[in-house]
Structure formats: C-alpha cells, structure tokens
Amino acid sequence: MASVQLFRQLFIILVYVFLQVFIFRNLVIADVAFCFMYVGIILFIPYETSDFWVILLGFLIGLLVDIFYNTAGIHASAMVAMAFVRGFIIKGIFPSKGGDADIELSMAGMGSEKFIRYVLIMTMIHHFILFFVEVGHLGYFVGTSIKVIGSIIYTTIVLSFLHRVLK
C-alpha cells in the first residue's frame, strides 16, 4: 500500500471514529435504532489487507469505541467477530472472482445490489453480537431483535451515504 493510500485510510479511520464517538453516539431513533457507523472501517478497508491486520484493526477500533462508550469490550468483541468473517462473506458474495486483488469494496466496484447485501450481512453480524452480548441472555429476545433490525437499517443507510461522500 502506497503511503498516500495509507494516509488516506488513516484519515478515513479517524473520521469514522470521530463521527461515531462525538455525533452518531447521540443520534438514536426511538431508543430502538442505533447507528454504529464505525463498522465501515472494517467493511471498506482494501480487500488485499491481511486478515491479521483486519482483525487487529477491528479489535483496536472496537476497544477505542469501548473506552468512549464505557463498555467492557462489547464493541471490540463484535468488531473482531465481524473482521474474522469478512473474508468468508466477501468470497460468498463473489464466488466467481478469479483474482482476489481485483475485488474493490465500494458501491462502484461491487454494484449497488452486492454492496448493500455485503453491508447488511456484515452489520447484522456486528449488531447481533453487540446487542446480545450487551443483554447477556436471551430473555429479552424480541426487544433485542427489534434493536438489531432497526440498527442494521439505520447503520446501512448512513454507511451507504457516507461511503458515497468519502469515496
């Protein structure tokens, strides 16, 4: 990765974390839909990035958000799980791609339908783990599921919009 691309990625990471911690943290819809747009960091990091670095970055970003949210590793665990399955999800969406390097994780590179499917699947994994680990049991399954679904929709809309703006 060239130094210009590296600095661009670092800038985007800082923008996503800043927006999450200082703006989107307070933009909750009806105490049901939460926007965790920082997951876009893992979603849109270049595909050729090593799985080790993706998982490590997911952990560090999740830990940073945990520090600001005063949560005990919930965001870090959800980000690590999402980063771990990222490669499998991409290969499932693009089973016929010849070379792995030619996958561009953007709306322009994937097409709208595959892009939305990718974002929905990945945010579903993140949000499901995040909310159910936060609750700690399945006693509030319906209420937690409503939060998961509302947050998936909210996060997907915001990520799609921000992805167009930042690309």
- Overall average pLDDT of the 88-97 stretch: 80
pLDDT at residue 98 above 50? Answer: no
Per domain, the residue ranges of the chain are 3-166
Q: CA–CA separation, 123 vs 101, rounded Å?
A: 23
The predicted structure's pLDDT at residue 3: 77
167 and 106 Cβ atoms separated by less than 8 Å: yes
Whole-number CA gyration radius for the chain: 15
166 pLDDT higher than 70: no
Q: Are 159 and 118 in contact (CB under 8 A)?
A: no
**Alpha-carbon distance 42 to 8, whole Å?**
14
CA–CA separation, 83 and 51 (whole Å): 8
pLDDT, residue 167, reads 62
- CATH fold group of domain 3-166: Arp2/3 complex 21 kDa subunit ARPC3 (1.10.1760)
Residue 38: the pLDDT is: 92
Q: Which comes out higher in pLDDT, residue 140 or 82?
A: 82
- 33 torsion bin: left (phi>0), alpha (psi -120 to 50), beta (else): beta
How are the residues of the chain apportioned to helix, strand and coil, as percentages rounded to the nearest 5?
A: 75, 0, 25
| Number of other residues whose CB lies within 10 A of the CB of residue 83 | 28
CB-count exposure of residue 70 (10 Å: 0-12, 13-18, 19+): exposed
The 10s digit of each residue's pLDDT in 112-126 is 788 889 999 999 999
Please say whether the beta carbons of 63 and 41 come within 8 A.
no
How many Cβ atoms are within 10 Å of 101's Cβ, its own excluded? Answer: 10
pLDDT confidence of 81, banded at 50, 70, 90?
very high
Residue whose tokens read 């915001």: 158
Q: pLDDT tens digits for 62-78?
A: 999 999 999 989 999 99
The per-residue pLDDT of the chain, averaged, comes to 87
**Is the pLDDT assigned to residue 87 strictly greater than 70?**
yes
For the ranges 11-15, 93-97, 104-108, 122-126, the maximum mean pLDDT occurs at 122-126
